[in-house]
Structure 1
Amino acid sequence: MITEAAIQLALFAVLFLVSLYVPLLGMIAILFLSLPFMIFTMRHSYAYALLLLVASLIISTLIGSLLSLPVALMFGTAGIAIGGMLAKNKSRYMILLTSALIFLMNIVIDYVISVKFLQMDIIQETLSAFRQSFETAMQIMKGMGQTPTKQLQEQFEQGLELIKYVTPTLFVIAAFLLAYATMAVSIPILKRLKLPVGTWPPFRDFTLPKSLLWCYLLVLVISFIPLEKGTFAYLAVLNVYYLLQLLFIVQGFSFLYYAANKKNVPKGIVIGGTILCLFLPFLLYLIAILGIIDLGFDLRKRI
């Protein structure tokens, strides 16, 4: 066990070095940071995996700095959770949800620490960069003899304001993307190592709890009440609304995949239609409505 811990720690150190100092390859290597913790947790136990995590935090501090410590903690805790649940043959969707929650907690904690103690607000800096890029583009348009419309500037400011308000939703999306990407790159390697990883249930069988319909109805009712922008109630309603919309889009796609399977529609058409919908926002809105109808009236039983 000690020998394997040393091997996994060395693997983590190499991946961490690459993620820190190799520009393009580092973006890929960072997704594999959880892999050593998954392997070690599946072969041993949580207690020994936590000791490996402590050692990895020390190594990450020596390789980088204290600022790199949150990255090691984030992927280490997620790897331990994923490995432990895979060893217990838990559902892939449950593993995805649990790991996404762990990523989300780490993201929120890191953001709070960066704002409170390091005086560095990543969201504000990103919005400032967007604003500077927009102003540069406007100057280029004026230099070419084109006058930017006032409506265009107002729409841009409204977009920046919306991004600021839906930051919690963006954090949730980022957490799920990180969790899914981490599992997607690690599970094939775990299979090659003959470790039990289970399989993904068919996406066409995925359904949300019907209680989300009542949550959505409640949010719609509250949205008719005039709320002051920037208040906690306004932010809560806005973010819950967008999160529910995303969930209903997933439900809608799941129903379409179910219907396509029943009608023997070729997979190429289904995948092509999915990609097309992702680039056409109004189609996503229709798919969200379809997801709501499927969840409320159980359209699958009518096919």
Structure 2
Amino acid sequence: MKFRLATVAWSVIYLLLLLSLLTPLRIFTVFLLIVPGVVLFSSLPFKGFLIHVIPVLLIIALQDVYLLLPAIYFLIPALLMGRVYKKGASAFQALMTGTGVVLAELLVVLLIATYTFGFDLSQYLRDQAAISANLVQQILNGNAMLPGMNWTAEDTQRLGTMMIGKVPYVLILTSFLLAVITHALTRPALSSLDVPVRKMKPAREWRLPRALIWYYLLAIVFEWIAMSSDSSWVQAVSVSMLPLIHACFIIQTIGFIHFWTHSRNMRPVIAVLLSIVVLVFQPLRIIGIIDLAFPLREAITRSKK
């Protein structure tokens, strides 16, 4: 009975979170919307999951049919992350699955907006840069302490280019943040329901699949194709793929650093400091590429013997 009441409670929480999208609270609650779906899917058989979720979706549809769109949007990563937890896979795999699915959904939404509604992300960001430039110029003109300072057209162009260049990082960071929040809240919730969830592996055990090398080459080819394309969606996908794979290489590099310092019996703080260096000086991700392509860790282990 306790288990049943707990899952019903999570259904109510799911309903309240979806209804909160109609209020200003959506700025905060949107980051929690994946959690109930993951908890319900991981703790119930599929039929029981449907019994809990379908009434919620029906109530939402009666309240505002357009709320079904975000409900389904966040339900997809919930199902896939829940599947990872059900299989007993690692927490790292759950995080990567959640991040990848949310990022893919963001790109699909951008694709639909581009080809269905004629939305041009690059032009939109340039327009926003122009609006920001006008505000800055008004501030400069109205401030007697800043005589002779002007915001030029070149400054506006540079701002627009910078904003476009930051799009992939914003998409990746948003996706990763959603996955991290979901995992952080889901793990204790599932533990309270007696559903085992594996802890995050130590950093020294972080290893990504070797196939990432091929994805990297594919992303480079896709970037070449995007350079000759006028489609803002193709360009957005292109500029998102490489930073995402670069982030994976950075994770691999940090894992290798922790493995190496652990094998040399160094203090953990050294690994942390070196990891910060990798995050600041990102070309060091080449260490992660080499670690993926060649058996560096096995060589270090053999040399110790």
Q: Same fold (TM over 0.5)?
A: yes
Correspondence 1:84-123 to 2 at 5 A? 84-112=83-111
Q: 1:219 to 1:33 in 2, by over 3 A?
A: closer
TM-score (norm 1): 0.74
1:49 aligns with 2:49: yes
1:242 aligns with 2:243: yes
- The answer on whether the counterparts of 1:138 and 1:148 sit within 8 Å (CA) in structure 2 is yes
- What is the CA deviation profile of residues 89-111 of structure 1, one whole-angstrom value per residue up to 9, with x for unaligned ones? 12333333433344345434544
1:158 aligns with 2:161: yes
Q: Write the distance in 2 (CA, Å) between the matches of 1:111 and 1:222.
A: 17
Identity of aligned residues (%): 24
- What is the CA deviation profile of residues 97-133 of structure 1, one whole-angstrom value per residue up to 9, with x for unaligned ones? 4333443454345445556667777776555334312
- What is the CA deviation profile of residues 20-45 of structure 1, one whole-angstrom value per residue up to 9, with x for unaligned ones? 4354xx54443333333333333321
Q: Write the distance in 2 (CA, Å) between the matches of 1:133 and 1:4.
A: 49
Amino acid at match of 1:100: T
Q: Write the distance in 2 (CA, Å) between the matches of 1:4 and 1:199.
A: 23
**Counterpart pick for 2:12 among 7, 10, 13:** 10
Higher relative contact order (CA 8 A, sep 6+): 2
- What is the CA deviation profile of residues 225-246 of structure 1, one whole-angstrom value per residue up to 9, with x for unaligned ones? 9943636886665544333322
Find the counterpart in structure 1 of residue 282 from structure 2: 284
Correspondence 1:16-95 to 2 at 5 A? 16-18=18-20, 20-21=22-23, 23=25, 26-63=26-63, 65-95=64-94
Find the counterpart in structure 2 of residue 251 from structure 1: 252
RMSD: 3.9
Q: Write the distance in 2 (CA, Å) between the matches of 1:266 and 1:50.
A: 49
Q: Write the distance in 1 (CA, Å) between the matches of 2:5 and 2:185.
A: 25
> In the TM superposition, what is the alpha-carbon distance from 1:187 to its structure 2 partner?
0.9
Find the counterpart in structure 2 of residue 187 from structure 1: 187
1:294 aligns with 2:291: yes
Q: 1:89 to 1:225 in 2, by over 3 A?
A: closer
**Counterpart pick for 2:150 among 127, 143, 147:** 147
SS of the counterpart of 1:14? helix
Amino acid at match of 1:291: G
> In the TM superposition, what is the alpha-carbon distance from 1:197 to its structure 2 partner?
0.9
Q: 1:100 to 1:6 in 2, by over 3 A?
A: same
Amino acid at match of 2:291: D
TM-score (norm 2): 0.74
Q: 1:149 to 1:31 in 2, by over 3 A?
A: closer
Count of matched residue positions in the alignment of Structure 1 and Structure 2 = 293
Unaligned runs of 5+ in 1: none
- What is the CA deviation profile of residues 243-268 of structure 1, one whole-angstrom value per residue up to 9, with x for unaligned ones? 33222222212212222323344444
Q: Write the distance in 2 (CA, Å) between the matches of 1:149 and 1:124.
A: 19
Q: Write the distance in 1 (CA, Å) between the matches of 2:84 and 2:214.
A: 31
Find the counterpart in structure 2 of residue 131 from structure 1: 130
- The answer on whether the counterparts of 2:204 and 2:256 sit within 8 Å (CA) in structure 1 is yes
Q: Write the distance in 2 (CA, Å) between the matches of 1:29 and 1:117.
A: 28
